Amino acid sequence: MVTGAEGLPALADAGNVLRPATTLRLSLRLPPTVAGEAASDLLRQLLETDTPYGSRVRFRTTQATTGWNAPPQSEWLTAVVDQASQDYFGQPAAYMGEGGSIPFMTLLGERFPAAQFLITGVLGPHANAHGPNEFLHLPTAQRLTACVAAVLAGQHRQATSSVGRW
């Protein structure tokens, strides 16, 4: 995705002429199993090699990080999440893999490799995540809050039955 550009004319002034320079800032979302540095090196090679019409391309990386890949979900967590979803949404839990570039999750995953994580948010009807007004759908937020509370209660039951105390 292009997140910034310099040297491009305004749309009304654009034509098929060569410009002295164009600078683009790119942002890539990589699968969490792809190493950020390796992807950056490959992109550099692709962009700087065999450039069109004798142009000169320079590639500079400002940040190349590897995303976080969640460990497999334990049976107890799957059961508790599915039950909470049935109780409050009337259907099994739905899973979606995204947001693996959140640096905090990589740090937590490295520090606690056997931990189970429940990462969730409210994207109900007409939601606009990260927009000026995220249009938080209050009934969905209330049900999600109840689901998270049920999962925490399930985790407590799991911990006390496994260890004998919290």
The Cα 161–Cα 80 span in angstroms is 15
* pLDDT of amino acid 19: 85
**Do 49 and 79 sit in the same domain of this protein?**
no
In a domain, 20, yes or no: yes
> Do 126 and 79 lie in a common domain?
yes
**Helix 75-89 vs helix 138-163: angle between axes, to the nearest 10 degrees?**
150
pLDDT (tens digit per residue) in 42-98: 999 999 999 988 889 999 999 888 888 888 899 999 999 999 999 999 999 988 776
Please report whether residue 59 resides in a domain: no
| 149 in the same domain as 120 | yes
Q: Please report whether residue 12 resides in a domain.
A: yes
Average pLDDT over residues 133-151: 87
113-126 pLDDT per residue, tens: 888 888 887 776 67
What's the domain range around 39? 2-54
* pLDDT > 90? residue 4: yes
Distance, CA of 160 to CA of 12 (rounded, Å) = 67
Higher per-residue confidence, 8 vs 104: 8
